[in-house]
């Protein structure tokens, strides 16, 4: 059983020129490698956005309790200190 699957895509000339330009700049062995690297970068970017959204949601969920805890601790920050 083959592990690789063949696929073919047709690109407009401007996009093909971009792929060929990137192939030279990246010193990639093939146009497929350029596309593959682009797909991995896109996947990583989407993964980072999802993680960023999860952190924002977690922050939103605990924000009110965190502010309440900080307000409670604020009164203790100078406890035991004398003013000179």
Q: What angle do CA 24, 7, 34 make, to 5 degrees?
A: 20
Return the minimum-mean-pLDDT range out of 20-24, 46-50, 66-70: 66-70
Within 8 A by CB and 6+ apart from 22, the residues are 28, 34, 38
Question: How far apart are alpha carbons 28 and 37 in whole angstroms?
Answer: 9
pTM score: 0.60
Instruction: Indicate whether 2 pLDDT > 70.
Output: no
Contact indicator for 34, 26 with CB cutoff of 8 Å: yes
């Amino acid at each position: 059983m083959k592990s690789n699957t063949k696929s073919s895509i047709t690109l407009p000339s401007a996009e093909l020129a971009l792929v060929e330009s990137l192939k030279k700049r990246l010193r990639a062995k093939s146009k497929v490698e350029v596309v593959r690297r682009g797909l991995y970068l896109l996947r990583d970017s989407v993964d980072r956005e999802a993680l960023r959204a999860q952190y924002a949601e977690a922050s939103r969920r605990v924000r009110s309790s965190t502010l309440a805890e900080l307000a409670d601790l604020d009164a203790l920050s100078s406890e035991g200190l004398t003013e000179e």
